[in-house]
Amino acid sequence: MLPKITLYYDVVSPYSWIAFETLLRYQQKKYFDLTLKPFFLGGVMKATSNRAPAMVAAKGAHLVKDLDFSSKYYGMNIVHPKDFFEMAIKNGTLQTQRFLVALQKEKEEYLIPASREFWTRLWSKQETGHSIDDIIAVGKKIGLSEDLIKKLIEKTSSFEVKDLIKKNTDEAINDGAFGAPWIKVEREDGQSHSFFGSDRMPQICYFIDKPFIGSLASNEIKSKI
């Protein structure tokens, strides 16, 4: 029996992307079983009276540098949106997250490539990811049929999907979440601990008594800074 990890994430968050890729890499090493739960970060922020780091001047300035460095360390291609406010606040990702929830319920095997493709659009290609056209483009890119894409888009306005994403969001909030990524770790002995952020693999490995072996990126930075 392996430890269980649940990742609560929203594709509006680049740090959720980093956590997503890192956890998937460690999952391949048989460190734990991983469950993915798309939630609505906007709902978490509102419930906890939190503010996006990019909306605080000093944090926003640091975030740019930090993401550039993290992109290299984790072997990813993270590029800042042309207009973060428009992407994250004006457009938002509620429709996108509902689509991911609907997709997970209908065809869970497509959740990983779909999530990755939305992140790539928002945080690598400087494209949009909130509109119906964006969702259709992602669906086609990952190999979904037109009929299934249409069905899933229709489901995003259903009570079932709205209730599911609310359940995921409330679950994270009740566990103490105030942002994303939120990572809940449950050991084989029943003890659990939750972590916030994309850089918590060393502590997660310590908690589950496994060796931390870096970012597992092919171009991981080896030198100390």
Mean pLDDT of 94-109: 99
63/87 Cα distance (integer angstroms): 16
pTM: 0.95
98/104 Cα distance (integer angstroms): 10
| pLDDT tens, position by position, 156-212 | 999 999 999 999 999 999 999 999 999 999 999 999 999 999 999 999 999 999 999
Name the one residue in this structure whose structure tokens are 């306005």: 157
- Assign 57 a pLDDT band (cuts: 50, 70, 90): confident
pLDDT at 223 over 60: no
| pLDDT tens, position by position, 136-149 | 999 999 999 999 99
Q: Which CATH class is domain 4-207?
A: alpha beta
pLDDT at 41 over 90: yes
Q: What is the pLDDT of residue 222?
A: 45
How does the average pLDDT of the chain come out, rounded? 95
| pLDDT tens, position by position, 18-36 | 999 999 999 999 999 999 9
216/119 Cα distance (integer angstroms): 20
49/195 Cα distance (integer angstroms): 19
Q: What is the pLDDT of residue 175?
A: 99
Decide if 168 contacts 111 (C-beta within 8 A): no
pLDDT at 224 over 70: no
Give catalytic residue positions. 13
For residue 44, give Cα distances in angstroms to 47, 192, 206.
5, 21, 28
Structural domain spans, the chain: 4-207
